[in-house]
Structure formats: structure tokens, C-alpha cells
């Protein structure tokens, strides 16, 4: 039996951040109850399909904001997950927002078997937080990390870079707080304005000023070097951690390992099929109420597609793509098949018989390199 990761999407938030284009709506208790029931039902439906083929080894509850669910609501999902699917859970992450988490909830998470909490901090600078629509204070965010660490759970925090009014000093402060509070994992993203978001519109109307590419990259370079100074290492272009604190669930995405998504707009990779759930509540509920899975086929991957994805995602990781696994999975000789393409970009790569990876200094411009290899 093969391992599989389970992702459960909780599409509710207390408020919408100005940069967000994820499937999410403002929470209301009745809706949440309805949703929890649908998710439970979906898990049971899924069980009939995957129970005899896969063992769940990682669980990731993301959003939205999973912490808007009460411990009881979340517990109901987790209980049914464990009951319906074959589980040997090695890592169990829940995303939380500093506004909707407290010590009791963290304790309850621990009792459910959660091993890792990911806190959506984004910034510890109150001015910057305000400019992007985050409602929590820096104190609330620091407090949340303390609760998580004190409960003995792994603590990850998200950082966003290239935000309005953000400076290099903010990045330094961020790393200081990480160091002082026992955080073991940081996801650092450069802001990307997605169409349809409040910030995108403000930018279009000239009402929003953002740090330019160079300033943003300076922030990224800074957080990387500061984190390395305190004993972190980068293992994926946006992810840093202390030794052995990599997110096993997220690694599956970059290693093209199977995962199944539950809930609104969740995606799955099972075998050679990429599937996705509808992002419309009514559509989702209708299917589930009829006792059917809501999944739709996004793409049936050909061997070539799978090879391309393996490269495209694998090279996001600092230790790159596993050539040995590639060769045995696809029954080819990677170095030979890609010889010509590799030659074109070899100055940007570290290549050995076992692994191919992008040199540290070129990780930020990997699209150019990956495009040369996969198209």
C-alpha cells in the first residue's frame, strides 16, 4: 500500500485579507456546521475509493482559516478521518490565524493528534499588517507562537515579503521573533497580486505603492541569510526550517507523491489524474448530498506530463530532483534523455548521478531554467 497525504480545505475566515484570492467566505456558525457535515460525508465517500489502496501518512488542514472552527467541529472531521481511512499519521498540520486561536484550542489540537501548527503571521509590523488587511496585532501573533511551542507542537509561521510600507528592518525583526520564540519552520512568500483582489484593484487605480522587484528580492535575500544565521536552512524556494522540520505533507506536492483534497476547491493527485473539487458551495453541496464525490478531472497526465511536473516541482527544492527515482519510475535515463536541454542551462545547475538541483543563486529565477528543460 502506498502512502497518501490528505488535504482538508476550510473555506471560512473572519475577514478577507486584501491580497487573498483563495476560496473562502466570511464565517457564520450555521454554514460552518453544514460544511463540516459535508466534509465528513465526503471523507466517507472517499474511503470507499482509496481505503484499500492508500495509507494516510500526512494530514494538512488549511484554508481559509481552520481555526475559525470550534475544537468540536474540527474534532468531528478528524474523528471521521481516522475512522474511515487507513491511517498511520506521521505529520498533522493545522493552519491558524492569531485572531481565532487560543490556548484551549491548541491543547485540543494536540489531543486530536495534531503535530504541527502553521500560523498565518505574514508580518509583525502593525502598519504593514493593516495595509494588507490582517486584523491581528503583533502581540497576538507572538502569543500564538508561544502557545504552540509551549504545547510541544512544531510551530511554523508564514511571512510575506514585498508588502506596502515593508522594510528590511521588518524582516530582521521577523527573524528575531522567530528565534526568540522557538519557531522551527518559516514559509516566506513574495507578494503576488492576484487579479480580482482588493490590492490588485488598488494597484490598478494607482492607489497602492509597493516595493519594487529589487527591494522585494533584497528582503527575500535578507530573510534567507538571517534564517541561515540562526540555524535554519532553505529546503524549498519559499520554505525554511530547522533540521528535520520540513513539512512532509508539502514535500509530497514537490515530489509528485499522491494526495487527496477534501472540501471546497481542494485538488488531488491520484495516480496519473489531477482532480479538483468545485469552488462553488452550492455545486459542492449538491454533489455530496446526492452521495457522490464532487471531484472533477482537471488533467489526465501523460508520461511526458508527469516527467515535466516532476522536474518543474522537483527543482523548487534545494536538494533538487531525485534522478534515481525519476529513472526507475519512468524507465528512462534522465541525464541522457535531457542531455541537450541540460546543456543549455548547465551553468545554472548542480548535476550529479543522483540528483539535479538549481544553484542557490539562481533559485529566484528558476522559471527560465525550468522552461528550458520542460518545453
Partner 1 sequence: MPKGQSKIRNFCIVAHIDHGKSTLADRIMDVTSTVAKRDAKEQLLDSMDIERERGITIKLTPVKMNYVYDGEEYELNLIDTPGHVDFTYEVSRSLKACEGAILIVDASQGIEAQTLTNVYLALDNDLEIIPVINKIDLPSARPDEVKMEIEDVIGLDASDAPLVSAKEGIGIEKVLEQVITLLPPPSGNIDAPLKALIFDSYYDSYKGAISFIRVFDGEVKAGDKIKMMSTSKTFDVTEVGVFVPKMQPQDSLSAGDVGYLCASIKNVSDTKVGDTITLAEGGVTEPLAGYKEVAPMVYSGIYPADGAKYNDLKDALEKLKLNDASLVYEPEVSTALGFGFRCGFLGLLHMEIIEERLEREFDLDLVTTAPSVSYQVVKTNGDTELISNPSNLPPASEIAEMQEPVVKAFLFTPPEYVGTIMELCQDKRGEFVDLTYLEATRVRIEYSIPLNEIVYDFFDSLKSRTKGYASLDYEIVGYKKSDLVKLDIMLNGEVCDALSLIVHKDKAYARGRAIAEKLKEVIPRQMFEIPIQASIGGKVIARETVKAMRKDVLAKCYGGDITRKKKLLEKQKEGKKRMRQVGSVQLPSEAFMSILKFDK
The angle formed by the CA atoms of residues 342, 343 and 345, to the nearest 5 degrees, is: 70
Q: Which grid cell is 208?
A: 497602492
Q: How far is the CB of 182 from partner 1 (least distance, A)?
A: 25
Displacement of CA 357 from its chain's centroid (Å) = 21
**Look-up of cell digits 497576538:** 140
Helix axes 303-314, 248-255, angle to 10 degrees: 130
Q: What are phi and psi of 310, to 5 degrees?
A: -60, -40
Name the H helices within the chain.
29-50, 71-84, 103-112, 126-131, 138-150, 168-180, 198-204, 213-229, 248-255, 281-289, 303-314, 323-330, 334-337, 339-345, 366-374
Q: Which positions from 169 to 208 touch partner 1 by CB under 8 A, shown as an x/- string?
A: --------------------xx-x----------------
Q: Which listed range, 114-122, 148-156, 306-314, 324-332, lies at the site for partner 1 (CB under 8 A)?
A: 306-314
Interaction between residue 366 and partner 1 (CB under 8 A): yes
**Contact between 93 and 249 (Cβ < 8 Å):** yes
| Alpha carbon distance 267, 286 (integer Å) | 18
Q: How far is the CB of 170 from partner 1 (least distance, A)?
A: 19
| Alpha carbon distance 181, 109 (integer Å) | 20
Interaction between residue 375 and partner 1 (CB under 8 A): yes
Out of 238, 245, 287, 314, name the contact with partner 1 by CB under 8 A.
Answer: 238
Footprint of partner 1 on residues 321-350 (CB under 8 A)? 348
| Alpha carbon distance 187, 122 (integer Å) | 9
Beta-ladder partners of 118: 95, 156
Which letter does DSSP use for residue 17 in this model?
Answer: -
Q: How far is the CB of 273 from partner 1 (least distance, A)?
A: 11
Out of 214, 243, 282, 336, name the contact with partner 1 by CB under 8 A.
Answer: 214
Closer of 34 and 192 to partner 1 (Cβ) = 192
Closer of 298 and 354 to partner 1 (Cβ) = 298
Q: How far is the CB of 270 from partner 1 (least distance, A)?
A: 11
Interaction between residue 308 and partner 1 (CB under 8 A): yes
Q: How far is the CB of 346 from partner 1 (least distance, A)?
A: 13
Out of 204, 299, 343, 352, name the contact with partner 1 by CB under 8 A.
Answer: 299
Closer of 230 and 365 to partner 1 (Cβ) = 365
| Alpha carbon distance 138, 229 (integer Å) | 23
Closer of 296 and 353 to partner 1 (Cβ) = 296
Q: How far is the CB of 104 from partner 1 (least distance, A)?
A: 29
Out of 150, 309, 318, 329, name the contact with partner 1 by CB under 8 A.
Answer: 309
**Contact between 80 and 51 (Cβ < 8 Å):** no
Q: Which positions from 131 to 170 touch partner 1 by CB under 8 A, shown as an x/- string?
A: ----------------------------------------
Q: How far apart are the first and last CA of the chain?
A: 34
Interaction between residue 304 and partner 1 (CB under 8 A): no
Question: Closest Cα to residue 66, out of 30, 37, 27?
Answer: 27
Interaction between residue 303 and partner 1 (CB under 8 A): no
Q: How far is the CB of 217 from partner 1 (least distance, A)?
A: 4
Q: Note the residues at the interface with partner 1 (CB under 8 A).
A: 7, 189-190, 192, 213-214, 216-217, 220, 237-238, 250, 252-254, 259, 261, 265, 267-269, 274, 298-299, 308-309, 312-313, 316, 348, 362-368, 370-371, 374-375
Amino acid at each position: 500500500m502506498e502512502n497518501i497525504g490528505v488535504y482538508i480545505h476550510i473555506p471560512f475566515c473572519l475577514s478577507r485579507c486584501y491580497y487573498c484570492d483563495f476560496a473562502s467566505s466570511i464565517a457564520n456558525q450555521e454554514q460552518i456546521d453544514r460544511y463540516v457535515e459535508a466534509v465528513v460525508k465526503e471523507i466517507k465517500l472517499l474511503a470507499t475509493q482509496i481505503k484499500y489502496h492508500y495509507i494516510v501518512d500526512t494530514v494538512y488542514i488549511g484554508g481559509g482559516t481552520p481555526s475559525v472552527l470550534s475544537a468540536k467541529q474540527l474534532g468531528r472531521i478528524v474523528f471521521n478521518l481516522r475512522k474511515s481511512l487507513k491511517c498511520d499519521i506521521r505529520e498533522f498540520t493545522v493552519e491558524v490565524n492569531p485572531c481565532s486561536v487560543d490556548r484551549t484550542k491548541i491543547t485540543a489540537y494536540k489531543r486530536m493528534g495534531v503535530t504541527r501548527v502553521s500560523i498565518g503571521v505574514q508580518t509583525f509590523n502593525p502598519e504593514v499588517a493593516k495595509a494588507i488587511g490582517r486584523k491581528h496585532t503583533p502581540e497576538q501573533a507572538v502569543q500564538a507562537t508561544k502557545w504552540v511551542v509551549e504545547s510541544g507542537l512544531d510551530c511554523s509561521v508564514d511571512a510575506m515579503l514585498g508588502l506596502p510600507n515593508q522594510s528590511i528592518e521588518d524582516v530582521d525583526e521577523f527573524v528575531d521573533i522567530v528565534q526568540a520564540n522557538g519557531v522551527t519552520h518559516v514559509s516566506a512568500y513574495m507578494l503576488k497580486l492576484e487579479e480580482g483582489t482588493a490590492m490588485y484593484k488598488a494597484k490598478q487605480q494607482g492607489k497602492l505603492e509597493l516595493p519594487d522587484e529589487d527591494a522585494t528580492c533584497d528582503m527575500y535575500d535578507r530573510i534567507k541569510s538571517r534564517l541561515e544565521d540562526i540555524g535554519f536552512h532553505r529546503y524549498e524556494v519559499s520554505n525554511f526550517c530547522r533540521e528535520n522540520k520540513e513539512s512532509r505533507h508539502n514535500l509530497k506536492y514537490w515530489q509528485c507523491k499522491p494526495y487527496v483534497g477534501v472540501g471546497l476547491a481542494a485538488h488531488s493527485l491520484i495516480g496519473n489524474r489531477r482532480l479538483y473539487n468545485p469552488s462553488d458551495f452550492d455545486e459542492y453541496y449538491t454533489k455530496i448530498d446526492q452521495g457522490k464525490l464532487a471531484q472533477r478531472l482537471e488533467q489526465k497526465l501523460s508520461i511526458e506530463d508527469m516527467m515535466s511536473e516532476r522536474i518543474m516541482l522537483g527543482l523548487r527544492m534545494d536538494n533538487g530532483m531525485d534522478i534515481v527515482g525519476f529513472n526507475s519510475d519512468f524507465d528512462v535515463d534522465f541525464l541522457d534523455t535531457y542531455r541537450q536541454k541540460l546543456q543549455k542551462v548547465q551553468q545554472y545547475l548542480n548535476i550529479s548521478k543522483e540528483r539535479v538541483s538549481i544553484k542557490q543563486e539562481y533559485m529566484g529565477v528558476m522559471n527560465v531554467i525550468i522552461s528550458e528543460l520542460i518545453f
